[in-house]
Chains A and B, each alone.
Chain A
């Protein structure tokens, strides 16, 4: 059964690590749907959140192969524990009239988004949430005309007080 898996990977914060990881995915034909990278509370460590499609065997191999990389410190499948997930999406909506503008503003309020730019013809909206929420918003404004979208891909953390610690330290 194909599933969407969210994997959290702690890596040493060094140049070239992303290439190593993306190369691994290419080489082994793992189906990657998004990857986000950013620094963490520890300046030496970066966190990658990788969304992968595949069955359980694929997930197992992804985790094991990632663990083999020398610069990978910790790999966890976030599906196995409860997690909070967010994605940031910027969308430029076509809204040339006052009516359409106020409609977008209404939607943005309901979705707790933000208007971050405005022109005579467009509104640029910032929306954060899990993938479904972002998709729902986009579906809503699509009939009005989407000019441009930029999505960051998912980032995630475990819910509660548990944290990812290096098991190789």
Chain B
């Protein structure tokens, strides 16, 4: 059979069902082989969206997401999406076409060093140089993507490799693959676990930080058990959101730069900090010398390189979060935890002080009210919110959602953390909906981020993918403008989107139903209409552009939370180039 057919067999063997991609000249054999299969292929309108969709698929399902792009510009368009997936440990396999092997290195048409480009933004990558390598390399790629700390893996597929003949009996798809240099640790060291148990057992003011690793390891149940039994409040990182139900009495909410008072103060005051599957990013710790200054730190992570990278750790435990939490539980459930009434009272007080005010009647709508109404609508259709998936874009919309939206199920809040990729939210929602067709999927996005991949309206329209796009429309790049106001003497430079398109008309021109919402009273019903329609739907919600989000200044102490004053956008943008000005440039 042809190499490309073997690739289809290999994908099938990996239990792949969906591909997100965009064909091109160097992928003709691949797409021809695809023609004869029953894979679902989603043709996105831009390769970047294909990568984000594969990423959204992976995050919502826990399976590997696959995206495909042709050589040269196709491959480079994938880069942002692949880097985004990898930064958040999402298992994505990216396939790129490549010029035939005899042309590699000759600067052929649409040739690019994809191997070199993807090398630094993936867990590992391959270039298949001979058709006989296909079965092994595909097996390896999927194995690497989904085991240990998951991540992005890239395979470069020269056109002649897709086209040449391969005897699959001589080179079968291996069931088991031995990768000599790759042996992730799964089980935690028993001695370290014993030490951790002792410290947790004797802690008076323990706190857990749950990161994305908890979701990836499906360790939520174990986390809840540990938290409830020992009485440990839990805060989550952006990636960990949903790993611990946020309506739970021990939930503290988001931690870090945009974190809740409850989370940040509890971490500061803790005597034992248990970090699970989190990499202590600068967005979580701020100034390292004032981060959890009194705490013994237990760090559980499957990636040994994360331990001690940013924060000093007293008890490192390398392994899978679920396996380790299970081990900890077996020991700890035999013991009687010490009384923590005082700590619990303190936590309750902090939780009360962190309760957000969301009942604003303002017009334009305040984001807090918007989120409240949205949750009300969602709860009417899905009371536990366990069958609702939110994907966010990046910026204020993301942080408002992280802060005010109560997630209660793992893998239900999908957001670009590590890279903070604008344009991620909408296409990742497409992937999430395809992974979980039974779930209500809402793409929360800012107007800026939506415009970065708005062409995907064509995709959802074409396939009638029923997701709801909720644009938090403030006609500015809100987060940048907030920072400019805070740290750059209120000089607002290049953050006004000015004439954003009429999103309702834009959606309609793609054949997507849409509504504009300007009053808080209309939000709930509009969401219900959109969700019940069973069709792709866009809601353009005009929000107050002056609304800012509390934050800790970068590198600051996490208990010094800043509440920025409301700032009107400058009536006359300070950095504006109209065509006349451009014509007057004497170049």
Interface residues of A (CB under 8 A from B): 11-12, 16, 19-20, 23, 27, 57, 60-61, 64-65, 67-73, 166, 168-169
B182 contacts A by Cβ under 8 Å: yes
Residues of B within 8 A of A73 (CB): 180-181
Q: A23 contacts which of B120, B124, B179, B183 (Cβ < 8 Å)?
A: B120
Taking the closest CB of chain A, its distance from the CB of B587, in whole angstroms, is 37
Given A12-B181, A73-B180, A168-B183, A67-B120 contact (CB < 8 Å): no
B498 contacts A by Cβ under 8 Å: no
Give per-residue flags for B519-556: 1 if the beta carbon is below 8 A from chain A beta carbons, else 0. 00000000000000000000000000000000000000
* Besides A61-B309, A65-B305, A69-B124, 17 new A-B residue pairs in contact (Cβ under 8 A), listed by A number: A11-B181, A12-B180, A16-B119, A23-B119, A23-B120, A61-B305, A64-B309, A67-B305, A69-B181, A70-B123, A70-B124, A70-B179, A70-B182, A73-B180, A166-B180, A168-B183, A169-B180
Taking the closest CB of chain A, its distance from the CB of B502, in whole angstroms, is 43
Taking the closest CB of chain B, its distance from the CB of A138, in whole angstroms, is 36
B422 contacts A by Cβ under 8 Å: no
Chain B residue at smallest Cβ distance from A45: B180
Q: Is the CB of A27 within 8 A of B304?
A: no
Q: Is the CB of B305 within 8 A of A72?
A: no
B308 contacts A by Cβ under 8 Å: yes
Chain A residue at smallest Cβ distance from B151: A68
Taking the closest CB of chain A, its distance from the CB of B535, in whole angstroms, is 44
Q: Is the CB of A60 within 8 A of B308?
A: yes
Q: Is the CB of A68 within 8 A of B305?
A: yes
Residues of A within 8 A of B179 (CB): 70
Cα(A154)–Cα(B182), bound, Å? 27
Taking the closest CB of chain A, its distance from the CB of B121, in whole angstroms, is 10
Given A72-B181, A168-B180, A67-B304 contact (CB < 8 Å): yes
Taking the closest CB of chain B, its distance from the CB of A124, in whole angstroms, is 35
Taking the closest CB of chain B, its distance from the CB of A150, in whole angstroms, is 28
Cα(A34)–Cα(B449), bound, Å? 44
Cα(A20)–Cα(B123), bound, Å? 11
Give per-residue flags for B275-304: 1 if the beta carbon is below 8 A from chain A beta carbons, else 0. 000000000000000000000000000011
Cα(A23)–Cα(B355), bound, Å? 46
Q: A71 contacts which of B116, B181, B183, B303 (Cβ < 8 Å)?
A: B181
B115 contacts A by Cβ under 8 Å: yes
Residues of B within 8 A of A16 (CB): 115, 119
Residues of B within 8 A of A20 (CB): 119
Taking the closest CB of chain A, its distance from the CB of B133, in whole angstroms, is 12
Cα(A11)–Cα(B308), bound, Å? 25
Q: Is the CB of B119 within 8 A of A19?
A: yes
Q: Which positions 160-187 of chain B face chain A at CB distance < 8 Å?
A: 179-183
Residues of A within 8 A of B116 (CB): 19
Residues of A within 8 A of B182 (CB): 70, 168
Chain A residue at smallest Cβ distance from B115: A16
Residues of A within 8 A of B115 (CB): 16
Chain B residue at smallest Cβ distance from A65: B305
Q: Which positions 93-125 of chain B face chain A at CB distance < 8 Å?
A: 115-116, 119-120, 123-124
Residues of B within 8 A of A61 (CB): 305, 309
Give per-residue flags for B179-219: 1 if the beta carbon is below 8 A from chain A beta carbons, else 0. 11111000000000000000000000000000000000000
Q: List 30 A-B contacts (CB under 8 A).
A: A12-B181, A16-B115, A16-B119, A19-B116, A19-B119, A20-B119, A23-B119, A23-B120, A60-B308, A61-B309, A64-B305, A64-B309, A65-B305, A67-B304, A67-B305, A68-B305, A69-B181, A70-B124, A70-B144, A70-B179, A70-B181, A70-B182, A72-B181, A73-B180, A166-B180, A166-B181, A168-B180, A168-B181, A168-B183, A169-B180
Cα(A27)–Cα(B116), bound, Å? 13
Tell me the count of chain B residues lying within 8 A, CB to CB, of chain A: 17
Chain B residue at smallest Cβ distance from A44: B180
Give per-residue flags for B110-151: 1 if the beta carbon is below 8 A from chain A beta carbons, else 0. 000001100110011000000000000000000010000000
Residues of B within 8 A of A169 (CB): 180
Q: A27 contacts which of B120, B123, B144 (Cβ < 8 Å)?
A: B120
Cα(A34)–Cα(B55), bound, Å? 39
Residues of B within 8 A of A70 (CB): 123-124, 144, 179, 181-182
Residues of A within 8 A of B305 (CB): 61, 64-65, 67-68
Cα(A12)–Cα(B126), bound, Å? 14
Chain B residue at smallest Cβ distance from A16: B115
Q: Would you list the 9 A-B pairs with minimal beta carbon distance, nearest first?
A: A64-B305, A168-B183, A70-B124, A73-B181, A70-B182, A72-B181, A71-B181, A70-B181, A23-B120
Cα(A56)–Cα(B541), bound, Å? 53
Taking the closest CB of chain B, its distance from the CB of A92, in whole angstroms, is 35
Residues of A within 8 A of B309 (CB): 61, 64
Q: Is the CB of B181 within 8 A of A57?
A: no
Cα(A12)–Cα(B178), bound, Å? 13
Taking the closest CB of chain A, its distance from the CB of B312, in whole angstroms, is 10
Cα(A25)–Cα(B399), bound, Å? 33
Q: B304 contacts which of A19, A23, A64 (Cβ < 8 Å)?
A: A64
Taking the closest CB of chain A, its distance from the CB of B130, in whole angstroms, is 13
Cα(A19)–Cα(B120), bound, Å? 10
Taking the closest CB of chain A, its distance from the CB of B416, in whole angstroms, is 20
Residues of B within 8 A of A57 (CB): 308
Taking the closest CB of chain B, its distance from the CB of A134, in whole angstroms, is 33
Chain B residue at smallest Cβ distance from A68: B305
Chain B residue at smallest Cβ distance from A27: B120
Cα(A19)–Cα(B123), bound, Å? 14
Taking the closest CB of chain A, its distance from the CB of B60, in whole angstroms, is 26
Q: Is the CB of B308 within 8 A of A68?
A: no
